[in-house]
Chain A
Amino acid sequence: MSLQLRPEEITSILRKQIADFDVELDHYEVGTVLNVGDGIARIHGLSHIMSGELVDFGNDLFGLALNLEEDNVGVAIFGSDTQIVEGQQVRRTGKIASVPVGEELIGRIVDALGNPIDGGAPLAANQTSPIEIKAPGIIDRQDVKEPLQTGIKVIDALTPIGRGQRELIIGDRKTGKTAIAIDTIINQRGENVHCFYVAIGQKQSTVVQVYEKLKRHGAMDYTTIISATASDPATMQFIAPYAGCAMAEYFRDSGRHALIIYDDLTKQAQAYRQLSLLLRRPPGREAFPGDIFYLHSRLLERAAKMSEAKGGGSLTALPVIETQANDVSAYIPTNVISITDGQIFLESNLFNSGQRPAVNAGLSVSRVGGDAQIKAMKQTAGSLRLELAQYRELAAFSQFASDLDPATRRQLDRGKRLMEIMKQPDNQPVAVAKQIVIIFAGTNGLLDDIPPDRIRAFQTAVFDALDATYSGVAAAIADKKALTDEIKASITEMLGDIKRQFLKG
């Protein structure tokens, strides 16, 4: 940009700066560094500093005042502490940590302070927002009522997510948590939902992979990545979710829709634990500090569906929590489960047995999403949940039984086919009308005469048909948003046609 400046322009800018420059008495409050180490500096002085205020170490290095003690201030440093020396003078800034917000962030990768790290041009955002804002109050909100389609059949059918909801994605490592989050972002294409992916404590290479995947699917046109990787200071990992949330709130508060993914909050809790212990705050359970619940609750409370008076925008949050050995009763998982409006529970044995996404349909719930499902999905998904529950029960039982009565066998066969439908490869979101048709087929026994190993091929045939010959059926569902008898009949008829051809070939 600076290369395009002409000399006259430079002169005029300089002239304006010189004319406008006024000599004024600069006054600020200072303190001296007592000691520094592990990303924490203790500072003497700064007697009027506020909690959460930014502290200026000079050389573009800042810190966050976290502990205000009788004769010193504990400051967490945003960067390397190696340049800071004992006795160095630091200044108050009088400001709370803020990040740039606005449309300019779309498609960018930024750090926890909003500085671009994608090698692109500097951000031209002229608006900033403090990272810690109080969540909207009761009057400013309304019920979650619009669906946020993830494009993942098992989630949209069984644990639907509404705009403004907080739905936890929880599971062991390598169970596909991030994949669900990424698929959800990819499926927001054309939905007018601005997406924010906050990477906390991850490998830089993982963040690059996510970026490449999003770019490949054209999702970077409406997505911002906020990255605080494992090599960033704990302070950055601690504030990254708040920074991302502040950026997403800009869209929520301007009457638009935003989706934010915190991947993952376990790492953020660990970063905060590190800071707290170094600041000598008393440790509690699992050595986490006493305010660890508030750390997450105040963050997730900022996800909301705003009232019409406030523009009707929404911010949906999908926090991710990593468990150890499927233990959801550990401290952080239970905290976040109790804060969120439901959870998607992923299991490694399901994942390893090829059932992907490895959603445990029994333990996953969505506490508000039902209101945000379109009627047609509600009509079909109700029986799906029941059938799957019965299947799980029978499947466990039938392992010991040698001969089964025909009714049980039929139920098992049905369940097996339904489980097959629930499988879905990475990055292939399915439109809601298609989801409804295939689930309708499964729960109404229309797939019973197709061998389980051919279910997915049949599904592909159905989806292709819905795109081509039978696009009228898909349009009717999308239009009516409910399954009338008429539509049901046309689906049955369509499936019959496709099945005849499919079983012949």
Chain B
Amino acid sequence: MSTRWTAARRYAGAIYQLARQSNAVDRIGEELQAIFDLTRESRDLQRFIDGGIGDSLSRRSAIKALFASRVHPALLNLLLLLDEKRRWRLFPELVEAYQRKVDADHGIVRMSILTAHPLTPAQRQSIDQRFGDKLNRTVVSTVRSDPALLGGFIVRAGDVVFDASAASQLKRFHRELVTAL
């Protein structure tokens, strides 16, 4: 996994620089995400990517036919390069690495919120607001709920976890009582 990451970051870095030069960072980002979603939805495309279908020339023209009119020229070239180097497998990591570069430049932090009960919009806003201030970043959050938390929430931003769930507090309480005895 780690070598794939390293390679994916190189490709992502290159396309990101090109995107900035041509002022198309957001557009290319969206298109990358769209292609990524497409590969998950279309089984035919999946099989095409996994390789084996067609020789290199016909693959080239297939990619061109599929994407030429729809995506940014730099992105099209990236796809052709990936195909030529047989590096399609890096694509998911590449999309993520690209996204991270965009986030880092825009001061965005991706945050996942896990709650016991679904949040009201006001609650969610308040959490986003608080953590945004704390981390000094713009927060883009996703919310999931898991009744096993019993109450409270767990927020994860990158590698950092903020745990304010009832389940964890109870677990900690249990540990403290046991060690006290």
- Cβ–Cβ contact A71 & B5, under 8 A: yes
Name the residue on A nearest B152 (C-beta). A23
Instruction: Return the CB mask of A1-23 against B: 1 if under 8 Å, else 0.
Output: 01001000010011011000101
A29 to B162, CA, bound (A): 9
- Cβ–Cβ contact B163 & A34, under 8 A: no
A21 to B169, CA, bound (A): 10
A51 to B100, CA, bound (A): 25
A25 to B162, CA, bound (A): 6
Instruction: Return the CB mask of A57-86 against B: 1 if under 8 Å, else 0.
Output: 000000000000111100000000000000
Name the residue on B nearest A22 (C-beta). B169
- Cβ–Cβ contact A13 & B176, under 8 A: no
- Cβ–Cβ contact B176 & A21, under 8 A: yes
- Cβ–Cβ contact B2 & A42, under 8 A: yes
Distance to closest chain A CB from B109 (angstroms): 13
A80 to B176, CA, bound (A): 26
A173 to B176, CA, bound (A): 49
Distance to closest chain A CB from B176 (angstroms): 6
- Cβ–Cβ contact A29 & B163, under 8 A: no
How many interface residues does A have (CB within 8 Å)? Answer: 27
Instruction: Return the CB mask of A29-72 against B: 1 if under 8 Å, else 0.
Output: 11100100000001011111000000000000000000001111
- Cβ–Cβ contact B159 & A30, under 8 A: yes
Residues of A with C-beta under 8 A to B162: 25-27
User: A28 in the interface, Cβ–Cβ < 8 Å?
Assistant: yes
A13 to B180, CA, bound (A): 7
How many interface residues does B have (CB within 8 Å)? Answer: 20
- Cβ–Cβ contact A13 & B181, under 8 A: yes
Distance to closest chain A CB from B149 (angstroms): 13
- Cβ–Cβ contact B177 & A17, under 8 A: yes
Name the residue on B nearest A69 (C-beta). B2
- Could you say which of B5, B160, B163, B176 contacts A17, with CB atoms under 8 Å apart? B176
For window 122-180 of B, CB contacts with A under 8 Å fall at: 156, 158-164, 168-169, 172-173, 176-177, 180
Residues of B with C-beta under 8 A to A26: 162-164, 168-169, 172
Distance to closest chain B CB from A282 (angstroms): 18
- Cβ–Cβ contact B159 & A70, under 8 A: no
Name the residue on B nearest A14 (C-beta). B177
User: B6 in the interface, Cβ–Cβ < 8 Å?
Assistant: yes
- Cβ–Cβ contact A47 & B163, under 8 A: no
- Cβ–Cβ contact B160 & A27, under 8 A: yes
Residues of B with C-beta under 8 A to A29: 159-161
A139 to B95, CA, bound (A): 57
- Cβ–Cβ contact B163 & A72, under 8 A: no
Residues of A with C-beta under 8 A to B172: 26
A70 to B3, CA, bound (A): 11
Distance to closest chain B CB from A24 (angstroms): 8
- Answer whether A44 and B176 are a contact pair too, CB < 8 Å, given A25-B163, A26-B164, A29-B161: no
User: B57 in the interface, Cβ–Cβ < 8 Å?
Assistant: no
- Could you say which of B5, B6, B163, B181 contacts A28, with CB atoms under 8 Å apart? B163
- Cβ–Cβ contact B181 & A30, under 8 A: no
- Could you say which of B2, B164, B173, B181 contacts A21, with CB atoms under 8 Å apart? B173
User: B53 in the interface, Cβ–Cβ < 8 Å?
Assistant: no
Instruction: Return the CB mask of A334-369 against B: 1 if under 8 Å, else 0.
Output: 000000000000000000000000000000000000
- Cβ–Cβ contact B6 & A71, under 8 A: yes
For window 1-20 of B, CB contacts with A under 8 Å fall at: 1-2, 5-6
Name the residue on A nearest B162 (C-beta). A27
A44 to B5, CA, bound (A): 11
Interface residues in chain A, defined as those with a beta carbon under 8 Å from any beta carbon in chain B: 2, 5, 10, 13-14, 16-17, 21, 23, 25-31, 34, 42, 44-48, 69-72
Given A29-B161, A71-B2, 20 extra CB contacts under 8 A: A2-B181, A14-B180, A17-B180, A23-B169, A25-B163, A26-B163, A26-B164, A26-B172, A27-B160, A28-B163, A30-B156, A30-B159, A30-B160, A42-B2, A44-B2, A47-B158, A70-B6, A71-B5, A71-B6, A72-B2
17 residue pairs of the A-B complex, CB under 8 angstroms, read: A5-B181, A13-B180, A13-B181, A14-B180, A16-B180, A17-B180, A25-B163, A27-B162, A28-B163, A29-B160, A30-B161, A31-B159, A34-B1, A34-B2, A45-B159, A47-B158, A71-B5
